[in-house]
Structure 1
Amino acid sequence: YFHFVFFLVKLCIGMIDAGKAYNTANRQFVNGIQELAQTSAKDVVIESSLSKFAENLQEMISYHTVRKSGQKQSLSAHLRNGIAVRRDLRKFKEAKKQFDKVSEEKEAALSKNAQAPRNKQHEVEEATSILIATRKCFRHIVLDYVLQINVLQSKRRSEILKSMLSFMYAHLTFFHQGYDLFSELQPLMKQLTGQLDQLVMDSTKERKDMEMKHSTIQQKDFSNDDTKLEYNVDAENGIVMEGYLFKRASNAFKTWNRRWFSIQNNQLVYQKKFKDNPTVVVEDLRLCTVKHCEDIERRFCFEVVSPTKSCMMQADSEKLRQAWIKAVQNSIATAFRDKAEDAEKMERKSSASSGSLDSGGEVKERSLKGESALQRVMAIGGNSSCCDCGQPEPCWASINLSITLCIQCSGIHRSLGVHFSKVRSLTLDSWEPELLKLMCELGNGVINNIYEARREELGARKPQPGDPRHEVEAYIKAKYVERRFVQRLSEDEIRQKVSTSSSALNSTGLSDLQSCHCSGHRSCDGSHALLIICRSEAPEPHEESSGEDLEVFCEPKQLTPGLQLYWASFSRSMPDMAEALAHGAEVNWTNTDHDNRTPLIMAVHGGSLASCEFLLQNSASVNQQDNLGRGPLHHATLLGHTGQVCLFLKRGANQNAADVENQTPLSIAVKAANADIVTLLRLAKMNEEMRESEGLYSQSGDETYQDIFQDFSQMASNDPDKLNRY
């Protein structure tokens, strides 16, 4: 920039001293303007203006005469004003030195604050005070530094445009022959004049804003001025989280150094300087664990431990320490999931090796369980290929949707969040009997009939194996999050669905939905449908329900997806339940006409363990009560459904809750003399007391308790008749 400014000044002086060579010098001067315009290509205003000026000047050179010496000296004086920018450049350099100096002081204050021992309060307070003062000073210097940069840029533009504008106005005044050419330039010149005025106004406003920010910094409390850190396991550059930490050296002196750490590519690395190559601290996060460190002198410390070494680090505050620990923990979990293929190979190798840490029997049992789950789920229609892209032999599943997925689609499902999809491995994870039974109830074919009902109608293309990840991700979000391809139902269609669900009750020994006039029943106005439900809820196929064992409900005229889910749960129709959820049914919807019962309570009355598990996996509340104060556990106990009692206890049901009659599930089971349920409730109570006595970090429970509940789960899922003991 300064090279071309000085070059133009030199040409102008030569034009004054050598009048005879004016035209030649003028042409050179115009060429210099064109080169300056090219070097200012990033500034559209300067580049376009100078190019336009040079184009017109080139035409005028042929009939220019020597201008008056005073006019030439005026132009020279304007151009020499550009040299004044050098003073601003010196100020800029001084401001930069101040900025570098205060930056070093801030780093020193941070180090001193970090080194302050927790047991010496006066040193902590002194270090904190110095850090706050240094941060305020740093903010002031930053504002001055930014101001000098902006002033330099502003003057650079204004001096160039002022000089050239003055030069062009001089030509307009003294060369009448070029009047037509300058008339064409007048609009542009007026526009530049307005822009110069705006530059002056903006500069004044910016100076006032800086003064206001100075006063704001003076009043602000910088005691909690921590860096804002967030982790993102799906970051495009692979960096999950990064920031400054103090690292304790592994030498004998145990010195602490401030380094730039980052979590990337399943590794923990750091850099001494920005351009240095990263130093790997942890090769594979899957082999590590992270923990707080409270037994050393420094505050805010945590440790990443691997089988071969450990790394002690310190954050600037407790908030940042928690953020780093959470980021490392999530990265470890993600590393396990995203590298499932490697983990599967390692597990197969481990199962074949006699030197495994596990006993041979345990490894064999786990392998058989995985194969059994995979074989049973693959036997369902459509499950032999990925539900979303068609990749053959999928090894992952979404348990709340009951579908199978390939590894790429499983990663996308995991990014949607557990409120949309809960992902598990069919080969690596252990499968509870209830979950395995649930996976065998629906399958890819049923779910795709619901979630892709309008796909062909809308002309949407289903992804194929090998398609780019972003295309597959867009399709999956449209399918499950936006539910774009779901066929919306009218109220009449929902009514038909409810009627179909009620008709299906005949197969379970229950009466069907029928029309009636029941104006004498409760608050019914005669426009409702009447549903008669057997109180025994699960009679044997050869038994018949007497009139005394019937419970009567009136169904409201206004029908919603929530009501469809309600009766589908009762009728054990899993496809209708999945369809109702796809249509936006609230899983914890309450029926005000039926004592505020929920779909989960109705699934209990329907006697289906899989329906209960399906609702629980889709975020149904296991403790939501009806008007009588009874939750699903109460109803399962009243009906003697041992398998459902076992399921609810495993899912954290509150067994101490009492209904309006002050009855707990245990008192109900004792009164009904149901030995199995009494055993389960007492075992769950004892296990809870054991965990509380062992403290916050106790294990999940007694092994005997786990074994008994596993046995009950197996019988409830595979042989429920064994649980019908009275």
Structure 2
Amino acid sequence: STQHQGVFTSLQSISLVKLCSGMIEAGKAYITTNKHFVTGVRDLSQQCKKDEMISSFPSLLLQILFDQAQRSVRQQLHNFVKDDVRKFKETKKQFDKVREDMEISLVKNAQAPRHKPHEVEEATGTLTITRKCFRHLALDYVLQINVLQAKKKFEILDAMLSFMHAQYTFFQQGYSLLHELDPYMKKLATELDQLVIDSAVEKREMEHKHALIQQRVSPGDFSYDDSKVEFNVDAPNGVVMEGYLFKRASNAFKTWNRRWFSIQNSQLVYQKKLKDVLTVVVEDLRLCTVKPCEDIERRFCFEVVSPTKSCMLQADSEKLRQAWIQAVQASIASAYRESPDSYYIERLDRTASPSTSSIDSATDSRERSVKGESILQRVQSIPGNDQCCDCGQPDPRWASINLGILLCIECSGIHRSLGVHCSKVRSLTLDSWEPELLKLMCELGNSTMNQIYEAQCEELGLKKPTSGSSRQDKEAWIKVKYVEKKFLKKLPNGETLTENERKPRRWCVKKCQRHNSTTKAPTARRKYRHDAGNASPCEVSEESSGEAEIEQEASDLEDLRELHPGLLIYKAAQARNLPLMAEALANGAEINWVNDEDENKTPLIQAVMGGSLIACEFLLQNGADVNQRDIRGRAPLHHATYLGHTGQVCLFLKRGANQHAVDGDGQDPLSIAVQAANADIVTLLRLARMNEEMREAEGPFGQPGDATYLDIFREFSYMASNNPEKLKRRSLHFSHSCR
């Protein structure tokens, strides 16, 4: 009975601790909720600082001792259960185990056979030992029960007494605090009565004013639009204009959603809710344009067009639409004022004439170097470049550098979607321009290229889209024009003639050149020797341009357009006729076409032979392989080095030419330049090699190029264009010293 009483006591203590824990958790929830309530009262008082009555609320955060009291009760009982009751349980487990062992020993002793004395002796010994252990542990167990019974009386009583003291302290402090609030509550009741009276008076006055206004104003006069229509590009917070607009989604359903739009930090952004993250529609307003849209079913629509996408928006009224359009236009102008073209003008002044060899000096009349003239002004001055090549919108600011045409921002976005293999888009105002690329743009132009790509538009009776046409119409036109090429005037028999079907023919440079009236024939220069055994690069004269000796017989001329497109671009590359090269490419000429009748030379090598840097740049922009070699193992860089064309060497190195490649004579470009005693080319090659070694030493995370290296290459390009005579430094002393 004593054992059962001890176990029952321990179970009651554990149950009491659990109940106390539950009460404490509920108290914690009460305290947390009370804190939230007090916080709300404080927030209300902060929002009503102007109201003396509400702002004078005292702090209602009571110093509640409830949690502390409950913790003390639980902690005391927890210690009692943890130390004494647990020790009692462990002793009980040992007691039960020894008791079971004694019962087993009794059974074995009773089962021992009489005729086996050794088993009887073993069973009797085991029973004696087990019985002694049981009696000893039973005494300890009884002691634990008595100690637990004696301790529980004052432990539980002490805990309950602590709980009563805590409750007494809590309610006593609560009474004291509330008693102090009695004067305040009386004052608050008086003010509340006065507030009710004032509110009733104000209500009567407002009803009287409302009735007077309804008598004086007709119902139709309330239909005015009080929406915000003004904008400020110099707003202190950077927000030029903001408000709700409908936005057409780009999904297949073209759904319209109402969003909160704003113009800020030269960006057009929107958000669904006030606290949502801003979604950027246009990252840089300088790259976009805005125009009203009247060709869709909804009213008050306008479109914001960037090079990569188009966003259709709808305002609530015509007045708001005009305000948004003006705000976007003003923000674009402001963004340009903050980032003017001075950087690009300064860069253009440093490289006013594109890098080229002295042979290109005949076309300098087309390259004006007027100080302060921007890149945009220079390129737009080319015939046809004052408007977009594809839709006719005035003042185009984007270019397709491989086609040599100018585009508006919407058409540039369509061109960009065609892929770089078809059109490479660049900004005339925001991107940096290399001098040779700028000269290429000045050599072609919209008029020249439209004569090629729109040659049969009038015959087919097709109507070209205008600046007001929809984006879908423009996109369809551009794809048919540049991808499907349905408006081209096909070369006669150009697609059917094969190399075996063509008769041997003689070709005249002058006839090819006369198709380009602005390009004069290069000065005749002596051909460097191709015989590996007798190669002597140093024998090249200073005036030599490296142009191959071409037979000219006027009596055996034929129409160049009858040539195979690959052969046509091959011939036109040497004659520096860019329009003819562009026409050959449009008609399917392979950019890396190989002439197996002329040592497997490519159009790019022929451009080097002709001495034209612009022709080389045009071919490279259209995908020519700068490292493709002829049958003698010579890449374009080898030929340019043999001929001493510094501008071309500089161009090929910038385009990734392999400066370590060895030709059939076992010479790399550096050794060829050293033998030719060309100090400038040797300098360029050594700088390029040094820069390559620096990048390899820095590892995969190094810089793409040394700034000094790039500056020197830029200076060489500038010198090759403006002062080509400085690049003719063929010093015999330098040659001997290098050897």
TM-score by length of 2: 0.46
- Normalised to the residue count of structure 1, the TM-score between the two structures is 0.47
Instruction: Tell which has more relative contact order, 1 or 2 (C-alpha 8 A, sep 6+).
Output: 2
Decide which structure has the larger Cα Rg and report it: 2
